Amino acid sequence: MSGTPIANAIETLNAQIGQASEPTDWFEITQERVNTFADATLDQQWIHVDPERAKDGPFGGPIAHGQLTLSIMSFLPGGAGVGLPSLDGMKLGINYGWNKVRFMNPVQVGAKIRTVGKLVSVEEKSGMLEVINEMTVEIEGADKPACVAESVLRIVF
C-alpha cells in the first residue's frame, strides 16, 4: 500500500493530527440568511424570525438557528477544507456525519463567526479515508464559542 494515494494521504494527515487550522474569514450572520434558513427548514420560531418580539426574548434579539451554524461552519469563506490539506488523488469528500455536537453560545443576528478546525483522526475504511475534524465556531468578541462539533468526512480516491 506504500506509495498509493491513500497511503500518502494517511501519512500527510497523521502528521497534522492535533494541529489547529488557520481560521476562516469572519462571516456575518444576517437576518436575511436566518429567514432563508427558516423557510428552508420550516423552523419559524420567533427567536429567529421576529426581530421585534425577539428584542424582549431571552437573547435580547434574534439568533441564528443552531442547525444553520452547523450547516455552514465547514463552508465559510477562506476555509476550504478547514484544516485539511490538498491530497493527491482525492476525488471528493463526503459528509458522513457529526459526533459530539454542542451549541454553547447563541449567534446573534449581525454577529460575525468563523471556524477553526483541528484534525483528530484518520483511518482507512471501505477503500476510503475517514477523517474526524474537530470544528469550533467562534463569535467575534465572545469568549465562548458558538458551536463545537466533530465532523466525520469520508474521502474518496
> Per the structure, how many domains does the chain have?
1
**HSE of 8 in the Cβ direction (CA atoms, 13 Å)?**
10
**Residue 60 is part of which domain span?**
5-156
| pLDDT tens per residue, range 27-60 | 999 999 999 999 999 999 999 999 999 999 999 9
Residues 6+ apart with CB under 8 A from 19: 83, 118, 119
User: What is the rounded CA–CA span in Å between residue 121 and residue 113?
Assistant: 25
Assign residue 129 the CATH number of its domain: 3.10.129.10
pTM of the model: 0.89
Quote the pLDDT of residue 83.
Answer: 58
| pLDDT tens per residue, range 132-150 | 999 999 999 999 999 999 9
